[in-house]
Amino acid sequence: MKNIILTGDRPTGKLHLGHYVGSLKKRVEMQADEANQLFVMIADMQALTDNAKNPEKVSSNVLEVALDYLAVGLDPAKSTLFIQSQIPELAELTMYYLNLVSVGRVRRNPTVKTEIEQKKFGESVPTGFFIYPVSQAADITAFKANLVPVGEDQKPMLEQTQEIVQSFNHTYGEVLVEPKGVFPPKGMGRLPGIDGNGKMSKSLGNGIYISDPADVLQKKVMSMYTDPNHIHVQDPGQVEGNMVFTYLDVFGTDKEAIEEMKAHYRRGGLGDVKIKRYLIDVLEAEFAPIRARREELAKDPQAVMDILRHGSGEAAKVAAATLSEVKAAMGINYFNK
């Protein structure tokens, strides 16, 4: 039996290095294992839950996210890449699952509570946004995914899916597969923004994007937060909380050289410009080939959309089969008995 894995991203902007470290790189590794079947979803319906009045922000970024996927190495011959809104079965499953979840339970979901506070919705939270954990359960169960790669902050969402599966199977019979989470190694789940404030985020504007040209990447690295007290080259500097060293720990391959740089920086005599230039070289070594592939793919956007069209068709077949089983278990397959 293969592992069935569901993962995806909201198309509200191009993907950044935080996405690359937190999920994209791992997906490519999972794809290479023949024991895995990977479904990768561009979650445009979920993105619309808080962008309904600005749909162009979502629709225009579907292609951008797909380009990032293909550029980093996701292969449509090995993984199913699809668009959430093109699978109507997901919306129908969501409706059935909503009847198994109370308003109080959704309100207590820590991830939902936190995101509502962050977005300052107050009492104006869109209903679609409020219930999106149930929509996520539909996404996961439609493909009978048994593994779902998520960050620690998404653990409550996965737990809600597990509860819905348990409730459905208890009520209607064993139909749905209960998924397990695949969590990143400790310390590797989030990449801080270049300003040192929390995680890298589209909304905070503190990210380096996979698609950033070399000159833009260089400019962003040169603006990185380091040690504000390291004013002169000869001053001892602090490595902890210094974003340049944080990124070197993640992307650098010569660990011995990086440790020597840290020791030199701590005792003084090593300037910020020098370590930033070193980081630029490290990032260019990894991302220049990815950028080149992306630029080539972007020359034929229709070919990319055709990949998504085909993937969505394949995903719809799987979701339709699950929905048929769900309706049969519920006794509402009136014309197919």
pLDDT in tens, 48-65: 999 999 999 999 999 999
Strand-pair category, 3-9 with 36-42: parallel
Beta strand extents in 169-242 (DSSP E only): 180-182
Bridge partners (DSSP) of residue 40 are 7, 81
Judge whether residue 184 has pLDDT over 80. Answer: no
Confidence of residue 220 (pLDDT cuts 50, 70, 90): very high
* DSSP summary character for residue 85: G
Q: Mutual orientation of helices 255-267 and 272-297 as an angle, nearest 10°?
A: 140
Closest by CA position to 115, among listed 208, 207, 201? 201
Rg of the chain, C-alpha, whole Å? 22
Mean pLDDT within 324-336: 95
- The mean pLDDT of the chain is 94
| Alpha carbon separation from 266 to 153, 224, 245, 286 (Å, rounded) | 33, 18, 12, 27
User: What's the rounded Cα separation, in Å, for the pair 73 and 143?
Assistant: 22
What pLDDT digit, counting tens, does each position of 236-295 carry?
Answer: 999 999 999 999 999 999 999 999 999 999 999 999 999 999 999 999 999 999 999 999
pLDDT of 288: 98
12 near 42, Cβ under 8 Å? no
Asked if residue 268 lies in contact with residue 234, where contact means CB atoms within 8 angstroms, the answer is yes
Mean pLDDT of 101-115: 91
Closest by CA position to 147, among listed 264, 266, 314, 30:
30
37-41, 104-108, 318-322: which has the minimum mean pLDDT?
A: 104-108
Q: Taking 90 as the threshold, does the pLDDT of residue 198 lie above it?
A: no
pTM of the model: 0.94
Q: What is the per-residue pLDDT for 189?
A: 63
Average pLDDT over residues 75-94: 98
Closest CA to 260 of 284, 278, 235: 278
Query: Average of pLDDT values for 205-224?
Result: 96
Confidence of residue 183 (pLDDT cuts 50, 70, 90): confident
**3-17, 109-123, 183-197, 208-222: segment of lowest average pLDDT:** 183-197
When comparing pLDDT for 150 and 255, which is higher? 255
Checking if the pLDDT of 187 tops 90, the result is no
pLDDT score of 188 more than 70: no
